[in-house]
Amino acid sequence: MKYAAVWLAGVFSCCVAHAAVDRAAFIELSTKVLKVEVSRQQGGYSLGSGVLVAPQRLLTNCHVTRDAQEVFIYQHGVRLQAVAQVSDVRRDLCLLVVPGATGEGVALSSSTPLSEGQPVSAIGYTGGIGIQNSPGEVVVLHPFDSGKVIQSTNWFTSGASGGGLFDDDLRLVGIMTFRLRGGEAHYFSAPVEWVKDLLAKQDDAREIGPIPATEISYWQQPMAQQPRFLQAAVLERDNRWKDLERLASGWAEVQEHESEPWYLRGLALQKQNRLADARDALERSVKITPTLALAWHRLGLVYAGLGMKAQAQNVQRRLSELNPDLALQLAKSLLPH
């Protein structure tokens, strides 16, 4: 990965985001969200970001350090060298041991209390130059591997991989990891539960060195071996609605009590103009997860398409509480043409 950018089967690229915190809080966090510089075994440098999560412990993505010969961290203008790391390559998280790094680390929250539409702020070295922050919101929480991968609207690009995703109380909720190339609002962060798991394995730290090519993260796997939510994101991006319907239907059969496959099935059916079937799937999705704004928005569009104006207006009112932006989009679609 050059400049902390890795491509998965030509589809995904890695990165990080920007945040809407006040100046004092941003200055404080900038001492704990640090620039990572990697001297690569094959020559040259890669850049990324990292979050101080405990004294002298910096969390970043393994795709940032995977070709490393040496890893350096910048804090208070001082260049510090990482001497060891604990790796969880499958989850794309590496914990660096950095003697000389100061501070107690950021406050750790949990991704469990997060909800769709909740504001989150992303901080990292987008472009690998200066630290930046930007606001965004949670789009979907994807249950996976004892955590919930966070999909948000926080924009991020090369150099920001390994930066932090924070809630309104400036507690770390995730580590920004990758984005879907060409997708809208397809920015994914590792949940903080995975960070805590890695902190519990500090005694497993080993010398800095390249990660074997056979070890790759869940999102870098061939598409057929990726989690269903990533397969679905690619199919949605590429407008492959019949394929998405098949994927979502099979998913719903084995996990019928999860809302996401029903939402995706409803989306695929709506795009194929099978509105009555789409309504059934979407109604089931919001029954399982009443806070899933994407499903409510899609259901409102389906109601409108079926001529169910009153039901569509009810959905709009519900959305105004969950996600005002989607409520506005729905309201515009309900206007006479």
pLDDT recorded at residue 335: 81
Q: What tens digit of pLDDT does each residue of 151-161 get?
A: 998 888 778 89
Give me the pLDDT at residue 3, please.
Answer: 28
- Per-residue confidence (pLDDT) for residue 110, from 0 to 100: 76
pLDDT of residue 20: 52
Say what the pLDDT of residue 183 is: 60
Question: What are the distances in angstroms from CA 315 to CA 57, 115, 136, 161, 268?
Answer: 46, 18, 23, 37, 20
First to last CA, the chain: 48
Is 279 in contact with 103 (CB distance < 8 Å)? no
The pLDDT tens digits for 36-67 are: 999 988 888 889 999 999 999 999 999 999 99
pTM over 0.85: yes
CA dist 23 to 30, 122, 128, 132, 167, Å? Answer: 10, 14, 21, 12, 16
Cβ-Cβ contacts under 8 Å for 332 (sequence gap 6 or more): none
- Domains of the chain, first to last: 12-219 (2.40.10.120), 239-334 (1.25.40.10)
Q: So what's the pLDDT on residue 312?
A: 96
Q: Are 105 and 32 in contact (CB under 8 A)?
A: yes
User: Given this model, what pLDDT does residue 5 score?
Assistant: 29
Residues of the chain with pLDDT under 70: 1-21, 111-112, 128, 182-185, 337
